[in-house]
Chain A
Amino acid sequence: MADRVSRSNKAQSGRARTVLITGATDGIGLLLARAYAGRGHKVLATGRRVLTNDQDLFQSPNAVYITADQSDPAHACSAIVSAMQNIGWQQLDLAILNGATAWVGPPEDEPVDGMKQLLDVNFRFHIHLAHALAPLLFEAAGQLVMVGSTATKKAQGRFATYTATKAGLDGLCRSLREEWSGRADVLIVHPGPTRTNMHAKAGLKIGFARWFFMSPLRVASAIQYAIRRGDKRRMITRYFAFKARFSRAGEGRL
């Protein structure tokens, strides 16, 4: 419980917090970056794309964007760490490891280089980054948040590798949370199907099913709610997203 206490003490001081969000050029990551920057926190957003208009994209001068291609984890991590040094961050209050890709199709047809890239982007990068961020997170008694997927609850014949990477993150968080207890919090949120561009990018035509998917805005605010509450492992279901709209739990926290 020591970690909770120290963090809430720091929260009361009301200083702007430092927030890192990966995969922030689109989808849930972009909305999270806008939300935290809009509330006056200092945001470092990363993504694969090269942006020229990042202030417009994040709708706030509080957000800084750097290009970090997760398919090269070591390189991306050193880019992120040196960017944080350049903007003078001594500690990190919140890191949301959100960026991910997917591949859809029968497992026996999956191209090997694509599989390698998927593991790098969705899994190996997260391990490298958690490793690189550890001292900064310990400094702030911060929160490390991974974004998984509710896909991990069931067998997923058509995106087996994607689901495996997310299940890997789930397992990583379970053990790492215990290792880091008292120094930093490790959380994982598992969003359900969300109306983002990820499916199209993965070559999946979802058609009318799109209407049953959750809105990215709702999912992003539910994730913030889960982070405020410090939920260790949270399935972002429709019900939880609904509850997030009305609950005031964890108010005043990051």
Chain B
Amino acid sequence: MKVLVTGAAHGLGRALTEQLLANGHEVVAVDRDIEPLEKLALKHRGACLAGFADLQKVESVESLLVRQHGNKFDLVILNAGISATGKFEEIPPEAYDRLISVNLFAPLHLASRLVGNDLMSAKSKIVFISSLSHAVGYPGGAVYAATKDAIASYARSISKPFHKKRVSVLTVFPGPIDTGHAEKHSPHGSSRSKRMAPDKLARLILRASRGRSKILYPGGKTYLAALFGRLFPGLATRLMRRGLYDKMAGPSY
């Protein structure tokens, strides 16, 4: 199986890439931080290809797509994401620009062109990584949540037209993950035990990517939180405010 993973150098992307390689798949691992990927490519000679792309820049995404010309992917995981947390009005708009480019424009661009340029094989799958914030809101990460909601909506919309092209779509709504990203954006002193290990999440995502479901709330706790958010949207967002926003020390972007 030929796989493309974005944001593959660290965190969840790294865990996904390593598991895919261990299962004997061929991976094009994409990141802006190329060094760790080159080491991985050296270790898995032939199976892993390190692909540089800065998803903040549209030209960089274009050139990544050009370099993949002739490839046929069976699985594409649009995992790369960044965040900006703090009071909405205290975060500079430039940080929001980066957020929108990486979290929203890049995955839309990649998904649209991968299918449009015939880079997906028949019966292939595109995986979008949204967030549990889609169900519970995220005061203190309003624009992050907005990009993740937009991604979830886009994934839902393209599911039917892409199905005609024999490409299916899976959207994942993970809760907090135990990565450097979470460490940077959570309030100080919040416990790591509530966060999911990236290896476990990667396993769940890869299992779901083999199945037929279109959405995945990974893990029982995430599922329950999402259910709560659906049933009591106002209360869920208020609790998120108490738990996160009110405890935030300062903006982090």
Contact = CB atoms under 8 A, between A and B. Distances in A.
A156 B108 CA distance: 15
Contacts, number: 152
Interchain residue pairs A-B with the least CB separation, the first 7: A171-B149, A167-B153, A168-B150, A160-B157, A172-B146, A175-B142, A108-B116
Given A115-B112, A119-B104, 16 more contacts: A107-B162, A108-B112, A108-B161, A108-B162, A131-B89, A135-B89, A155-B160, A161-B154, A168-B147, A171-B134, A171-B146, A174-B237, A175-B133, A175-B240, A176-B139, A178-B241
Contact of B150 (A106, A112, A123): A123
A179 B165 contact: no
A175 B139 contact: yes
Interface of A: 73-74, 77, 106-110, 112, 115-116, 119, 123-124, 127-128, 130-132, 134-135, 152, 155-161, 163-172, 174-180
Contacts of A124: 96-97, 100
B154 A123 contact: no
Contact of A179 (B115, B142, B156, B160): B142
B245 interface: yes
A112 B112 contact: yes
10 contacts: A108-B161, A123-B150, A128-B96, A152-B153, A157-B157, A165-B150, A168-B147, A175-B133, A178-B139, A179-B245
B62 interface: yes
A175 B159 CA distance: 27
A49 B107 CA distance: 31
B157 A171 contact: no
Interface of B: 58, 62, 87-89, 91, 93, 96-97, 100, 104-105, 108-109, 111-113, 115-116, 133-134, 137-143, 145-154, 156-162, 165, 233, 237-238, 240-241, 245
A149 to B, nearest CB: 11
Nearest to B143: A127
Contact of A175 (B109, B115, B160, B237): B237
Given A175-B138, A178-B137, A112 B113 contact: yes
A168 B149 contact: yes
A34 B5 CA distance: 51
B69 to A, nearest CB: 16
A109 B118 CA distance: 11
B240 A178 contact: yes
A135 to B, nearest CB: 8
Q: Which of A108, A156, A170 has the most CB of B within 10 A?
A: A108
Given A108-B161, A174-B137, A119 B105 contact: yes
Contacts of B93: 73-74, 77, 127-128, 131-132
